[in-house]
Structures are given as structure tokens and as C-alpha cells.
Structure 1
């Protein structure tokens, strides 16, 4: 705004980026008159009222009575009111400019860019009415001894109009300032978060560094964690350079990211001794398990021999590969255990963990295969001794599903009845395979199990349909 005093620099935006608007040219007498007017407006009321008497008693100027003096007094009052309006507008614009600088330093959204453009438009209007006000002040010297009544009247009219224009623009500026409430609130919120966020990042880096030092003091190298912490060094440098250089949103995002990554390093560093101990324990445990599986695998061949001797080939052919598979898997597991041991000694923790997971998967597969042979012999012995138990178990499941399908109905839903009828027929066919000299007991067992699974699916469908109100 014209004739705006120098403003304090924004803590976020360099002063060079926001130069103060230049005041229009004002003549020397006008500047003196404006300065005197602003000084008079700033005086206490009692002093201001005493000034006319002081001038009257000095005898240094001629005073004309009557209408001319009344017009002069009215013009002077208009001049004082215009000066006060000018001062209020200047102060409001200065305060609002600081708010705009705060918004632009924090927010680059379309709404923020519109606010900047709107402020520039209002400022142009302020410059216009301020220039008109100064022209009115320059045009009339109210201190002249020979000031005519007509000139004083013209001055009063011009200064009153200038005051009204200044007041109207002040209202426009106030309305614009009120509309900035959400943007200013958002900017102030981010600024309030800035310092704590940066401090959290710094403290997080310090805590991670201290945790890493403690781990190294215990004899663990933690090279991967040290590398991750070192990679955060440039980020800390940018945080120290401040938001004025890198922007508030970017600095906030950087501070939060650094804090999270530093916290992750700290947690892993503090857990590293426990992780090392856990890996040591898994090495011992998995080696013991591999040895036990080697012993169990040796017992598979006798089980297969009994299966071959007592049951049809279909009951055991799929188990022929178990001994060889168990031997290969155990050998592979022992090789991976040695590699895991070497990785642990080199403190390559991710490699050691991955290798131990591979060992566990190999041993799980071997355990299932070895167990399958013994489980097969047990189930075949049971069904050979008493197949009726398996038959009754399956029939009960079918009848229970049929009762559920008929509950509250005269006829069953075809979607439920058809698969249940098929299950009955399938069970009858499975029972028929038990006839003959060498029954396929394993086929019988897999068929009855498949029938029960089908029945269970029908029961689940019936309950879902009734739950949905069908």
C-alpha cells in the first residue's frame, strides 16, 4: 500500500521475495502536511483539543472569523478522519500481507493461489484509493492564512470522499481477510506441527545411533543397520537447513519419514541381540529335528513292506517314493543348515533367517511324507478289521443332512436333494468295492471321505440359504 512503513521480515519467506510496494511520488509540502496530520491524529484527545487555543494565543497568523473559519475547521476534521482511515487501512493491509506470506509458505493448493491473486487485486484497489487520498491532501493547504471558504469547502468534500473510499476498501479488505480463515488455520496448524516434527526426527536419529552403538558394544556389527542410518544423514542436513529453504510441507513430510525410518533402525538394533539368540536356537532345534527325521525315515521301508504284503497295490503305490524323498530332503536341509550357520557367523541376519525358513519347509514336507506311510497302515488296518464303522459314520452324515434339508418343508429343494441322493449312490458303490478277494480298502476310504465332504458342503449351503431368508 502507498506510504506503508517498512514491514518486519517473514520468518519463512525471504524479504527479497516480497518487496514493499513503492509509494507514489508525493511533493515535499504534501509529505510534510501528511506527516503533521498523522502526528496530530496520534496525539491524545486533550492535547489535540488544546492545539487551536495554543495557535490562537501565539499571534503568528491571521484568523478570519465567520464562515471561512467554520469551513476550515470542517475541512481539517475531514482531513483528520481521512488520515485515520488511511492509517487503519495501512495497518490492516500490513497484517493481512503477513497472513498471505504464511499461507504461501505452507500451502501451494489452488485455493492458496487464488488467495494470493485476490490479495493482489485488493492491494491494487488500495493503492488506487491511497493515491487519491494523497492527491486530496496535496491539493489543499488548510494552514494558509488566506484560505477562502470555497477552497475549504472543496477540501472538505475531496477529503471526505477520500475517507469514504478508504473506509470502503477497508471493509473489502476485512471481508477478504475473513474468507482466509480456513487457509490461515491450515497454515498455522502446519507451522505448529513443524518444530515438533523436526525435533522428533532429530531425537529419533539420536536414539537410533545410541542403540546402534550399544549393539556394536556387545560384539555385533549390524552393518546393514549402520548403512541405513548413514543414508539418513543428507535428510538431517536438509532438516537443519530449515523450511525457509525447502518449504513447510516438504519439511514436514521429510521429518515424519526420517522419524519413522530412524525408529525402525532403533527397534531392529535393540532387538538384534534377541534375534541372534533366536537364530542360534533355531539352528539347534532344526538340526535336532533333521536328525530325528532321519531316524523316522528309516522306519518307512518296513511299513511299506507290510503294506505290500497285506494290501492291494493301489493301497500303497503312491507311497513308494517316500524313503528316497525323505533322504534327499534331509540331506538338503542339512546343507542349508550349514549355510545358515555360516550366515549367522558372518552376521548376515536376513540370509540366515531365509535359509532357516527353507530348512523348516523341507523338514515339514519330509515329516508329512513319513507320517503319511504310518497313517496309511493304521487306517487300512482299522477298515480291514471293521469296515462297518466307516460305513455307519458316512450314512449318519447323509441322514443328518437329509433331515436338515426337509426341516420345515414338504419337499426338499432340488439343489440340496440331488447332491444328497448322489452321495447315497456313491457310498453304495464304495461299499461294493469291498467285495472280492483283495478289496481296495484305500479307494473305499477316499470315497467315503469324499462323500462326507460333499454332504458337509450341502449342509453349509442349506444354512446359508436359510440365513439369507431364501
Structure 2
């Protein structure tokens, strides 16, 4: 950085002239006051010397102005570089620092040239000769021009920092609001937690999560100067998110407790209803055994035992969930209730399967033709679609549809004899309709792509 030029004080003119009087003859001394007419202390050497002195002084003033202009620009640029390095550690930022250091060396060289020129010439000397003033003017002008060239280099360099500086300033502008948002989020979470506790709910897990954020708040308060701007921004945003999550959960906790209470009652009622329904499975199985072949019901043999075991496990989990609720272990209570619901869903499906099986078998035994026609209709509808706009069907469509016709014929034959396997018939016709539906989907997909 350029340093201000300091001059060694010279002996004041009046004092110097006074010292000269001591050794002068009386007449010379009496004649000297005329030299002080108008208050000046400088001897008169002629117009040309004074003109050269004035030009040299003007060159000195211009060089000084260029010096301080460069100094100011360098200070401003240093602030920009410090702003960038506080935020950015990318290769581009490191190159900017290296470029600034190189410019600093150029500035030092130009500044030393200016200072040397100033130190080499005392333009206030009374006996300053015109040639000395002319040399001073030339050296000071050259120094000023060099300072100007370096200033132009500095300006070009500063212009090239625009994108880096803009990015850095944007992040710095985000810093204070981000830290403040984090503080406010922590405060809001703390207040929400206090309100929940005042209502009689402990919320220990939320309190632990909030306490874990305390060291992060300490680092935020220590500032970006210690921990870095990007790191502080990331920390502030993370603290804001986590504190906001704690606040939201704290505010929802009374509602969550009420929801758990409701689900405890609802699932207990459902378990009791399933206990009653599971007791009806055995009579259904008895009728299936009496009226239909073993293939129609043997996969349902274990339903009563499974239903009883599942209901028993569900009731045990409900008791655990009640204890967790009373102890205000909210995550444990919710997890246990989810397990209970899954057990009851499985039981409900198993119990329903027995009754549904009997219903479907009764229907097909009474009127198998209805199932046959339903399947044939699906096949014929697919065949019409396959032939639409064509003289011959695409083999990729025709072959599976022909197979479906053959499968239906074979399924119909299973109904012959004294003990028809109605369940095989029902599962086979359902499988045929699914295969036909896949062909229909393929045809529509291909025609849609063609359009």
C-alpha cells in the first residue's frame, strides 16, 4: 500500500534570515528590510526560475493527487478481496488473491518512484535553479504517469472481480438475516415447548432435540469471522429447519395425544369385533367341507388359529401402547399402534376370505354359466379390438387370445363329474380375464403410440 510522504522540517525562513543578520555590516543590515516588502522571504532570481518552480509544483500536486487516488482505489480493492475470501475458497477466488498480490507489488514500485521523486527535489528552496525545477517537473510527471498506468491496471482487475464480488456480497447479505432467523426459530421452539409443558405434557424427546441445538447457537453467536461465512450460513439454515420442526411438533403434540387416545379406543373396539367374527369362521369352514371338495377350502384350514393368535397379539400390543401413552412416549405409542393395525388388517382379510369363499362357491355352483359368459365376453371384446381396422390380427395379439379360448374350454370341463372343483374353475377364469386384459392394454398402448 502506498505510504504517505513525510518531509524533514526545514528551518523557517524568518528564523534563517534572522540568523544571517548577525554577521552582516550595519549598512547591509539596514538595507535588508526592503527585501521583506510584501511579507515574502524568498529571493528573486528572475521570471524563468519562478515559472519552472510553478510548473514543477503543479507536477508535484498532480502526482500527489494520483498517488492518493491510487491509494484509495487499492484500499477499496482490498476490501473487495477480503469480502471474496471471507466467503469463497474456490480456485477463482484464490487466483483473485494472487492477482491482487501481484498488483500490490506494482503499486509499491510506482509509489516508491513517486516518493523518491518528491524526496529528491525541494521546490521550496530559495536558490532553486530553473534546471533543477525542470528536472523535478519531469521526474514528478513521469511518476504521476506511472501511478496512472497502475491505477488503470487496478481498475481493470477490479472490473474482472464483478461476478466473484457479487456472489460474495449476496452471501454476506444473507448472513445476518439467516442468523437472525435461526435465533428466532429457536426462540419460537422454546416457547412452544414451554406451552406444551404447561398443559401437562412432558415432550422429553422434543426437549432433548432442542437442547442439542444449543452448541450450534453458540457457534452462530461466535460469528462468521471465526467459523467462516459458508459454514455459518449452512449452520443457520440447519438450525432454522430443526428448530422449526421442533416447534411444529410441539404445537401438534396436544392434537397428537388426542389422536393416540382415539386410536387406542378404536383399535380395541375393532379387536373385539374381530374376536366375534373369527368365532364364525369355523362354522363357515364346516359348511365348505360338507359341500365342496378339499381343493375348495383346504387353504383356509388355519384361518381360525391365525385369527385367534393375531387378535391376542394385537391386544397385547394395545396394552403396551396404552402404557407408552401414559408415560408420554409418543413415538413408541404410535409405532405400537401401527403394529396393532397391521395385525388386525391381516386378521380381517383372513376372516373375510372364508366368508367370501363360501359366497363365491355358492354363486358358481348355482349358476356356473354366468362366470363362463363373463369370461367369454371379455375374450370376444378383446378379439374385436384386435381386428379393428385390420384384415388379419397381429399374431402377438391373436395368439394369447386363442390361448384364452382354449383355457376357458378346459376350465369348463373341470365342472363335469360328481365333485366339480369350483374353486379351480373360479381362479382359472379370473386368470384368463387378467391375461385378456393385458392384451387389451398392449393393443391400446401401441395404437396410442402410433397416433
Normalising by structure 2, we get a TM-score of 0.92
Q: Secondary structure at the match of 1:221?
A: coil
Tell me, in whole angstroms, the C-alpha distance in 1 between the residues paired with 2:37 and 2:398.
120
Tell me, in whole angstroms, the C-alpha distance in 2 between the residues paired with 1:381 and 1:304.
13
**Structure whose alpha-carbon radius of gyration is higher:** 2
The structure 1 residue matched to 2:183, chosen from 182, 197, 202, is 202
Match of 1:183? 164
* Equivalent residues of 2:182, 2:240 under 8 A apart: yes
Tell me, in whole angstroms, the C-alpha distance in 2 between the residues paired with 1:145 and 1:274.
96
Match of 2:8? 28
Deviations 1:108-159 (A, max 9, x none): 2222221111111111100100000111111111222222222222111111
The number of aligned residues is 427
Match of 1:35? none
Q: Does 1:219 align with 2:206?
A: no
Q: Secondary structure at the match of 1:28?
A: coil
Tell me, in whole angstroms, the C-alpha distance in 2 between the residues paired with 1:157 and 1:177.
30
Match of 1:323? 304
Match of 1:251? 232
Tell me, in whole angstroms, the C-alpha distance in 1 between the residues paired with 2:166 and 2:249.
39
Match of 1:61? 42
Q: Does 1:171 align with 2:147?
A: no
User: How big is the shift at 1:249?
Assistant: 1.4
User: How big is the shift at 1:29?
Assistant: 5.8
CA RMSD for the aligned pairs? 1.7
* Equivalent residues of 1:311, 1:438 under 8 A apart: yes
What runs of 5+ residues in structure 1 fail to find an aligned partner?
Answer: 5-22, 33-54
Q: Does 1:126 align with 2:107?
A: yes
Match of 1:302? 283
Q: Does 1:466 align with 2:447?
A: yes
* Equivalent residues of 1:208, 1:262 under 8 A apart: yes
Q: Does 1:443 align with 2:424?
A: yes
Tell me, in whole angstroms, the C-alpha distance in 2 between the residues paired with 1:271 and 1:284.
20
Deviations 1:324-366 (A, max 9, x none): 1111111111111111111111111111111111111111011
Change (3 A) 1:226 1:59: closer
Match of 2:26? none
Deviations 1:91-117 (A, max 9, x none): 111111112112222222222221111
Deviations 1:298-323 (A, max 9, x none): 11111111111111111111111111
What runs of 5+ residues in structure 2 fail to find an aligned partner?
Answer: 13-35
Aligned residue runs from structure 1 range 70-89, under 5 A: 70-89=51-70
Match of 2:392? 411
Change (3 A) 1:362 1:135: same
Tell me, in whole angstroms, the C-alpha distance in 1 between the residues paired with 2:37 and 2:296.
132
* Equivalent residues of 2:2, 2:67 under 8 A apart: no
The structure 2 residue matched to 1:335, chosen from 316, 334, 337, is 316
Tell me, in whole angstroms, the C-alpha distance in 1 between the residues paired with 2:172 and 2:373.
76
* Equivalent residues of 1:79, 1:137 under 8 A apart: yes
Match of 1:452? 433
